Amino acid sequence: MRVTRAGAGLALASALLLAGCAQGGDDPADETSAADEQSGGAEESAEDEPDDDAASDCPELAVGEAVDVAVLAQCAADATAQVAGYAAETDLGGSASQVRVNTDPQALHMTSAMGEVVVVDGVTYVRTTGEWQEGDPESSDPLIAGLSAAGENIDSLDPAAQAAAMTGVELTVTGTDTRLDQEVFVISGEGEVEGAAVSTVMYVTADYAVLGNESSADVSGTTIDTVITVTAWDEAQDISAPM
């Protein structure tokens, strides 16, 4: 499958299947906005402080119950805002990447077959096979451009973005499982996202921490499988600017 620079960057950023579904053209914020509209604008403004009691306002998850995508996305966003940091591994169509994220202040370190990305203090640094350099999404080098786009879309990495990306999918709690020694609810569903048939399984704790996701999408006749496994949750990561 041919991937545009923006598409490569978003795929690296583990923005689930939307990079392929949108063919690299959409901003992940658009999907989050769609979720906001469905929830009646419940998303907090950028100026608002995270609400420590936000999780208590979220519906209790229970096997057999339907789950509203917009509510799940908002509750997952609230849960993510409360943690110091996390780490995850992603396999997108056979391409593996690892990411470590701190939430406040926001910082990121991602490695993949394409190279590495670090974002610190809002500045993106990328490296393929040579020295580190500042990110340039307009670079004539598609690897540099893709990695830089991933850095600029840091928000698409958080687990809440995974949930928001499922707008158009009917979700139901189908069982329970264990992730990171925590009991999680298995939330499954099928639907259509950006014209692509999508099926997904998410692993979500009672307080809405998304600890994993397995999705499959049929994009123009090509099946893309994505597996996201959270390997550390609420743990600050050692991330610093490389230059």
Per-residue pLDDT reduced to its tens digit, 86-134: 999 988 888 888 999 999 889 999 998 889 999 999 999 999 988 999 9
User: Is 238 a residue whose pLDDT tops 80?
Assistant: yes
Q: Give the three-class secondary structure for 34.
A: helix
Q: If 0-12 CB within 10 Å is exposed, 13-18 middle and 19+ buried, where does residue 99 land?
A: buried
Q: Check residues 31 and 160 and name the one with the higher pLDDT.
A: 160
Whether 17 and 224 have beta carbons less than 8 Å apart is answered as yes
Residue 59 DSSP symbol = P
pLDDT category at 180 given cuts 50, 70, 90 is very high
What does the H/E/C string look like for 94-150?
CEEEEEEEEECCEEEEEEECCEEEEEECCEEEEECCCCCEECCCCCCCHHHHHHHHH
Candidates 203, 226, 99, 115; CA nearest to 157 is 99
Q: Is the previous residue joined to 105 through a cis bond, with omega within 30 degrees of 0?
A: yes
Mean pLDDT of the 184-196 span = 91
Q: Which fold has domain 5-42+55-233?
A: outer membrane lipoprotein receptor (LolB), chain A (2.50.20)
Helix/strand/coil (H/E/C) assignment for every residue in 35-48: HHHHCCCCCCCCCC
